[in-house]
Each structure stands twice: as C-alpha cells, then as structure tokens.
Structure 1
C-alpha cells in the first residue's frame, strides 16, 4: 500500500508530500519499539506514557512518517499533526488492513458484568454448530483456534485490525469495554450485533458518574454496520434506557427480560436445577444453564438470543449449551466429599458480589464465608457498598489484599481497616495475606458451607504471598491437598 492511500484517509493532500506519496508503507506501529524501515509511527499520549516522547526512537529505527497531536518541528521525516491520534490510528489501520471487520460476523459485547461469560457461552454454541469462532477479550484472544495472551479486555485498534486481518473464522466475538470505547480502540471496527448485558457501579474513578459511564457504553452502537442490530438485557434500568434511545435512532432492538414484550421472555429461573424457562414467539421452552447463579442464567440467555439471531436453530442452541463446561475463573466451583464448596469468581463490583452470595444461598449454602479485597489505584467509590453487601449477606467475611498497583501495603491494610470499621460488622476479619485468608476461610468452613473468593478469578497474583501460589485457583487447589500445604509451611 502506498502512503498516498493513507494520507487521503486522513484528509491530507498527498501532493503536499510530493516525492513521498508513492513510497510503500511497510507497517504501522503505536509503540516506537515496533517501528521498522518504512513504518508509520502514531504517537499517542497514554495514561502512563506519552508516545511523543519516543519520536526520536522511532526515527532511529527507520520510521517514514510520524503522526501526532503536538506541534513538533525540525524532524528529518514527514510529520502530520492531528486532533486525535487514537482516531487517526483507527482510520489508517482500518485502511491498511483493508477493513477486515467488513466481511465477518462481528459481535461486540459491552456491559459491567457478564461480558466474558456471555462471550464464551456464545463461542461454544457457535463452534458446536459447526462454525469457527474467534474471541477477543479479557482472558485471552483466540484466532484461528490459536490462543494469544490478552493485555486488556479491548486491545488497541491496531492490534484488533491485525488480529482480524489474519482471522479466517466465521464469527468474531469481542468484549468492548467502556475504556476501549472512549479511547477509540474500536475506531473503524464494524459490528453486526451489539450486545448490552447490564450496567452497575464500576469505573467511576474514570467516568465520574453513572450517566457518563452509560454514555461510554452507548458508543458501541455508533459502530454498527448498516443492517446492524442491538441485543439487550432489559431487566436492568440502563438496558431499558438504552433500548429507548436505540429505538428512537431506528436501530433494531431485540431483548430478553421478564416482561412479555421482550423477544425472549424469561418465565422462571429454577436455580436448584439450573433450568431457565422462557418463551420465544409464543413458544415455551427450557434451557439447562451450564453455570450456577442467576446472573449466569442471564448471560446464557443473552448468548441464546444472539445465537438465534445468527440463524442457529433452537434445538441446536439448547443441545450446545448442555455441553458447556464453564469459564475460567467465573463462578468456578470446587467440591470434595466432606468439604465446603469453594467458588472462585472474578466479581469485583457490588452487584457481582451480591449475585455470587445470593446464588450460594439459592443453592442451599449453610453458611457463606466471603474472601475479597480491593485493587490499589482503582475506583474507591464502590468499596463501601462492597463491604456493606458482604457484611449483610455473608456469615463471615475476610478482607484481604488484591493487587496493590503501587500503593504501599501498609496503606492498603489501613484502607481495609477503615472500611471494616465504617461499613462492616463483627462478622468480619482482616487477613492481609491473600493465600492465608483463603486458607483460614477454608478452615472455618464445614461441609455444607460455601467459601466464595472474589476479585481475581483467572488472574495471576502480582505480589508474593505465604503459600507461594500464583492465583486464587492455584491456592484453592493446593489447600484441597493438605499434605502439600504441610510441606510448604513446615
């Protein structure tokens, strides 16, 4: 591809760069370390680093063109100043990779909770029905059956286009975060279906208000293809608000919910048997939910309705769901004879914690022991509500450390103590070492009790703890083998 093609996309007259416009573009980079001869480097000001500070590094590596937002003169290579580097990256990467989202079935999922579970249930349905499916999301990226590490729920728009350009998959499912939407990480990406799961208190350190958070989620529907549709959970006040806005915009809306006006009406949740009774086109049917929890029943039905919308028959969807085995770190259950049930879940919002505890009660937990903490340098406004919910609905709660993210450990422990005294009760204790907290919880618990460990799910620890394990899952698995624990602690 020639530079003239990309300059036109940026509304830059190629004749302004006469003698340069016919050169071949050999690649695009938003990290100066990735630059090679003939590349374009887009300088982006991030939260931790500013790409403009690395322009000289890009020049040393042979960059041919630089795009940025700052006034910079006297460079040995052409420089284009733009109002928004992130948007510019989306525009030129879409052109360079020949708009790879155009000819695929693209499904974007946004919402506070349930994005990952919904995407994996849907991926399973699609694959069980004979189609290939890519996934770009929180746990990992899977393209053409190969697994790649995932840094963010929504990667940069450059990486998205790179992944899509090599994908031969029939369907692509992408988790689209509010950060990704406001930071133009899906600029130029086109979706056939935009799924909205729910909206709850989260990320208010970034968005400031719930309405601002909602407006960020709403941006997904600016990226629908001409015949794109929305699939919405309307059993959520923000889902109702979203549906009304999209209907006014003449965007087709399909929904699930308890009201009979929904495309799939949820008639009943039989939690003890994990069965969903529903009605579609006046036909009643049942779906066996593969994962415990009312919240996961909603996730399953969102996946169901999406699968139906891409023309997979009801019997095939129902059959596919039966064989789904769950999602790594999402209400993941450990149960041994004469031992408590242990749940590892990614829940890190007040609503998600409530649903975890409520689900355990529904499934007959005698007592609930809840282990959780808070990440340093993250939304502080949700913390009091999280402690209040755990104090109210669990029988014992243990406050512990999560990722410190640069906050000194003693400062984070003081935060736990303040939250415990202000919003907790006598049922709570503080055990800073996360592995010891989990160990104590499992020691407190008896057969019939449930230990619920929330906050990290599939993620690895970022600091060292006493048991030298690397994740909540690994800690639980170790503690279920007492002889191994004794070896470590002796």
Structure 2
C-alpha cells in the first residue's frame, strides 16, 4: 500500500492525552507498539501488555517501557505512554527499577489520563485514525466459534466473489488483501495490524472483508473499534481453557462480538448449538438462525428469520443438500466432505444474503456458486499421489510385502493384477479439539470401505482438559489410533501423551490403573483394531506408520495441524538434524521447524506402494 502520512494532531484528535513535551504538528509515517517495527517518522505506543495481550505482572507498562530507547534510536518521533502515577518505582515481578527512561526533548511525549490502560482498544482507536477508518469503507463480516470459522470464511469469500464482490479475508490459514496472499501467525492479528490490513483491502478496491474473530481477540479488545455489518456464530465446545477460566467465560468472550453489533447489523447464529441463546440474548441486531431441524420455529413475537439445511446424501466427494432461507430454496452438491461442512455452507449463504443486498441472491446463482466451492487448505484435505507416475503394466501384487506388517489384514485375492493403482484415502485435517475431531471422524466413518486409522496429538502449553476427551473420540470412531505429537512447544511430548492415554477406554483395566499399564495394554498386538493402537511421539514416523498399516480401502485421518507448515518443539525433541539446520527460534526457548503433514503423507503413500507392489516411482 502507499506510504501513509498523517499529522500527529489528527491521529490523537478524539483521544484524551496530555502533551508533556514536543509538538503535535508532526508528520507521522508509521504507527506501532512494537519497537522492532519502528521506522523513521514513527509514533511509538508504550503498550500495557505483553505476549498475546496478557497483563503485565505487577506493572501495567514496565516491560514495554524498556523499549522506548530502542524506538528512539530507530527513528520514533513521538511516544505515547501511561500517566506518571501509573508507573511504579519497581516491578514486583522483575524486582528492578522500571521508570520511564529519559526522552530527548526533540521527541514528542504524550501521556494518558491517570488509571488509563493502553490496551488493544486504545491502540486500535489510534490505528483507526491513522489509517483513515478503513473498516467503515468495507462491508465487514466477523466469524467466531470454536470450530468451522475457517471453512465458513472461505465459503463466504467464494460466494461473495461469485456475485462480483471483491472480498478480503483475515483468518487462520492466511490473509488475502485483494492483491495476493500473506502468511499469518494469529487467527486475528493485533489491532494495529488489523487496521493496516483493512486499509490495504480498501487500497486494492475490495468492497467486503471477512474476519475470523478468536475469543482471545475479543477478550483483549483487538476488534473493539470495528463496526461489523454481520457476525456469524458457528458453535462452542471445549477449547482454550488454558486462557479462559471455564466454559461460561469462554462463551462470554465469544458473545462480545454479538453485543457489539448495531441494530442495523445482522447476527447469524447456529441455533442447533447449546450456546446459541447465550450469543443472542444480549444482541440487538437483526438475527438469522441456521438449523438442520426442519421443525425449528422462532417465537411468534420475534423478527428472527430461519435458514434450514436438509442434507440428503454424503460421500467422499462431498454432500448434497437443500438450502432454504430468505433467498428461497435451492439444492446443490457441495464438494466438501462431511455434514458439518453443509452447516458451514448454510451460514455462509446467510452471510451472502445479508451482505449481497437482500433480494439480489438468486437460487440458481447460489447453486452454481456452491458447487464450484474450492477445497479448504488442511480441512479434510485429501492427499494424492499421481497414478501416472506408475507403470501399471509392470506392477505385480506381492503378498509377501504384507507380511512385513503383522497388523495389516490380508486381502482376499492378492494375486489379481489391479486395473488401476488403488491406495488408501488419506485426509489431513485441522481438527484439534474433541468436537472438531468427532465431526471429522463422523464425516469419514460412513465413507470408509475398510478401516479408519486416526493419527492425532495434542498441543503443548495449551488447554490440557481436552487431551483425554480427544483420545476418547478417536478411540470411539477409529479402528486404529496412532497417538503422536502436535506442537509440543515447551512440554515433554511423552508427558502430553500420558495426559492423552487416560481418555482411551481399556476394559480390562481399572480407570485408576498406572499409566504404564494403560500404555502397555493400548499398544499390545492384540489391541490393534480393538480400541488400541500405536504411540509414536515423532510425528513424521507416526504418519508413516499409520499409512503403512492401511489397505487400499482404508481411510487414514491425520488430525491436528491441517494447513500448518511448521512444528514448534524443544530443540532436544527434534529428531532430524537437517531440520534443525533451518529451524527458527520460537518463544520460550523452543524452535520452529518446517513440517507439513501433507508432505509427509505423500512420501508415506509412495513408500506404501513399495510395500504392496513390486514397482514404485523413483
């Protein structure tokens, strides 16, 4: 985007600040709360939080204040800090002086009123002014919920663009500003970056923007200064309880999005979810309720409208359903696997209806748009190997290869030469909660001609309560479970697995049996296919083992990381020295290595062919 320049006086015009020194007549070319991003001409904001918006222990702004001198050296010409009385003499956490350092007289210094926290909402107001209120120039849709945000966002973007609305996207997989794709690390960026991205969308002639809004972002008020035209609630299930004290607090954070909507905005709420009422109760916006229940009706005195989805068939290629709402009724085949994706689609259609100007959304156009929906990266994404790489005439089935793995079932007629090269169906999915894992397994279980083999792990330094629940779901819907690592971060991968194992029912053992006994029973040869499986902390090896266990008619679900192309773990847990050579530092002494489930799955499928056939590609 073009270089922004705005007078400091205009940036702070509607914000209560006191000028301590310097001038307000300064041309500001950049605004940041991160000293590493300071450039000459910057306004540097001394924030009152560290690391993902968490409050600073014992000190409202001490950590950030230590970076003022760095900001000055890098070219900051103005600084905003908290009031002097809010600067403690000592930081009770660091037990060292943290007062404001001397600031050259040539640098403008502004301070807040007493007892005013420089939080994401405060910073967002400055950013909104600096970037000239970009959100007001876009039709803005926010999507929140535990699961389904990304898929719903992608479907909605596709639908809007099918109706000739250039639409930007901010989400878990990437950022699309209308002129190209950018990588992202947070589902919802910080408030300054949010406004910067929205300004880029405006510059690129976008008319609409879709944003995944996380509970962290809502709790930390990153979106406080944004006025949404519509918001979607997908669902709520156990996750992020390392951040939120309990489910009620988690729900309250999600509800902030709907409480912030104006009377003229639209709330699109999944009425089938237990927490739907919580999202609706404090919301004064107009409401569209989505449901799979054909008998669902709203109370007579309300003005809520209802959108129904009636799913008629499911297959490995997608689902067929009738979608009914204020736009009319249309049947379409959605090329995304699973019942849950049809639910995502009805919410996307509701968003299309309210953002495309009601009355202009025609059923025939809807059908064409739905049926051309592209696949979503890392969401039940199938991994393929190219059959053209194989000389089928030269292949001969070799049953001896099956003997290499005692757990692989013998085919009825292994001597028959295949007319095509069959191989297991391998799906990579981002499901990292028990609810999303259940949705994924419910989608693939009825479609598997053979067994379902599930590979999953649980993230380190994250909600520990979901670990046994995920194990229980995997065990219930899978024939073989392979427990591995996800992003262990600072935790010992083995310790995480030991938290997972208690969720797997082992009938012959007491629930209070020692973890060593449970692991032994789970991994015994007799347990394979009977609720047991494999423990392999090395994720690459786990994927390889799972795929080599499979027969052509089996489905292998690799859950947890989806679109991610990295793994975060301790240095000592990296088993491949080559990966360490290209690793980058990550928080708390961990490293980030390149890791893509899809790449490892593709390589494993090629190796699988050599186990079942005499020939394989080079």
Answer yes or no: same fold by TM over 0.5: yes
- Give the 3-state SS of the residue equivalent to 1:102 in structure 2: helix
Q: Is the 8 A contact 1:391 1:428 kept in 2?
A: no
User: 333, 346, 369: which is aligned to 1:320?
Assistant: 369
User: 344, 362, 381: which is aligned to 1:299?
Assistant: 344
Largest Rg, 1 or 2: 2
User: 35, 38, 56: which is aligned to 2:69?
Assistant: 56
Alpha-carbon distance between aligned partners in 1 of 2:174 and 2:277, rounded to the nearest angstrom: 31
Match of 1:199 in 2: 236
- Give the 3-state SS of the residue equivalent to 2:558 in structure 1: strand
Match of 1:130 in 2: 164
Query: Which stretch of the first structure deviates more once superposed, 19-28 or 64-73?
Result: 64-73
Partner deviation per Cα, 1:72-111 (whole Å, 9 max, x = no partner): 4463241414323322211110011111000211111111
Does residue 378 in structure 1 map to residue 381 in structure 2? Answer: no
Alpha-carbon distance between aligned partners in 1 of 2:254 and 2:499, rounded to the nearest angstrom: 31
Query: Where in structure 2 are the equivalents of 1:56-455 lying within 5 Å?
Result: 56-69=69-82, 70-71=86-87, 72-73=99-100, 75-76=102-103, 77=107, 78-81=109-112, 82-167=116-201, 168-225=205-262, 227-246=264-283, 250-257=284-291, 258=293, 259-261=296-298, 263-272=306-315, 274-281=319-326, 283-311=328-356, 312-334=361-383, 337-416=421-500, 426=527, 427-455=532-560
- The alpha-carbon distance between structure 1 residues 444 and 54, as it changes in their structure 2 partners (threshold 3 A), is same
- The alpha-carbon distance between structure 1 residues 153 and 483, as it changes in their structure 2 partners (threshold 3 A), is same
Q: Is the 8 A contact 1:193 1:229 kept in 2?
A: yes
Offset at 1:335? Answer: 5.8
Alpha-carbon distance between aligned partners in 2 of 1:412 and 1:393, rounded to the nearest angstrom: 21
Query: Which stretch of the first structure deviates more once superposed, 41-50 or 158-167?
Result: 41-50
User: 556, 580, 603: which is aligned to 1:478?
Assistant: 603
Q: Is the 8 A contact 1:370 1:451 kept in 2?
A: yes
Alpha-carbon distance between aligned partners in 2 of 1:188 and 1:229, rounded to the nearest angstrom: 18
Query: Which stretch of the first structure deviates more once superposed, 179-188 or 327-336?
Result: 327-336
Report how many residues are paired: 483
Alpha-carbon distance between aligned partners in 2 of 1:452 and 1:349, rounded to the nearest angstrom: 14
Q: Is the 8 A contact 1:308 1:314 kept in 2?
A: no
Match of 2:44 in 1: 41
Alpha-carbon distance between aligned partners in 2 of 1:189 and 1:444, rounded to the nearest angstrom: 50
Structure 1 stretches lacking a partner, 5+ long: none
Alpha-carbon distance between aligned partners in 2 of 1:8 and 1:17, rounded to the nearest angstrom: 16
Alpha-carbon distance between aligned partners in 1 of 2:217 and 2:224, rounded to the nearest angstrom: 9
Alpha-carbon distance between aligned partners in 2 of 1:483 and 1:241, rounded to the nearest angstrom: 49
Structure 2 stretches lacking a partner, 5+ long: 1-5, 57-62, 88-98, 299-304, 386-420, 512-517, 580-593, 612-618
Alpha-carbon distance between aligned partners in 2 of 1:130 and 1:460, rounded to the nearest angstrom: 32
Alpha-carbon distance between aligned partners in 2 of 1:19 and 1:385, rounded to the nearest angstrom: 58
Q: Is the 8 A contact 2:7 2:25 kept in 1?
A: yes
Offset at 1:217? Answer: 0.8
Partner deviation per Cα, 1:53-78 (whole Å, 9 max, x = no partner): 31221122232332344524463241
Query: Which stretch of the first structure deviates more once superposed, 302-311 or 229-238?
Result: 302-311
- The alpha-carbon distance between structure 1 residues 18 and 414, as it changes in their structure 2 partners (threshold 3 A), is closer
Query: Which stretch of the first structure deviates more once superposed, 104-113 or 260-269?
Result: 260-269
- The alpha-carbon distance between structure 1 residues 286 and 447, as it changes in their structure 2 partners (threshold 3 A), is same
Offset at 1:331? Answer: 0.7
Q: Is the 8 A contact 1:416 1:430 kept in 2?
A: no
User: 4, 24, 34: which is aligned to 2:9?
Assistant: 4
Q: Is the 8 A contact 2:312 2:322 kept in 1?
A: yes
Partner deviation per Cα, 1:438-469 (whole Å, 9 max, x = no partner): 11111222122111110000102326556977
- Give the 3-state SS of the residue equivalent to 2:266 in structure 1: strand
Query: Which stretch of the first structure deviates more once superposed, 360-369 or 300-309?
Result: 360-369
Query: Which stretch of the first structure deviates more once superposed, 298-307 or 31-40?
Result: 31-40
CA RMSD of superposed structures (Å)? 2.7
- The alpha-carbon distance between structure 1 residues 24 and 410, as it changes in their structure 2 partners (threshold 3 A), is same
Q: Is the 8 A contact 1:9 1:92 kept in 2?
A: no
Query: Where in structure 2 are the equivalents of 1:453-472 lying within 5 Å?
Result: 453-462=558-567, 464=574, 470-472=595-597
- The alpha-carbon distance between structure 1 residues 19 and 373, as it changes in their structure 2 partners (threshold 3 A), is closer
Alpha-carbon distance between aligned partners in 2 of 1:483 and 1:454, rounded to the nearest angstrom: 20
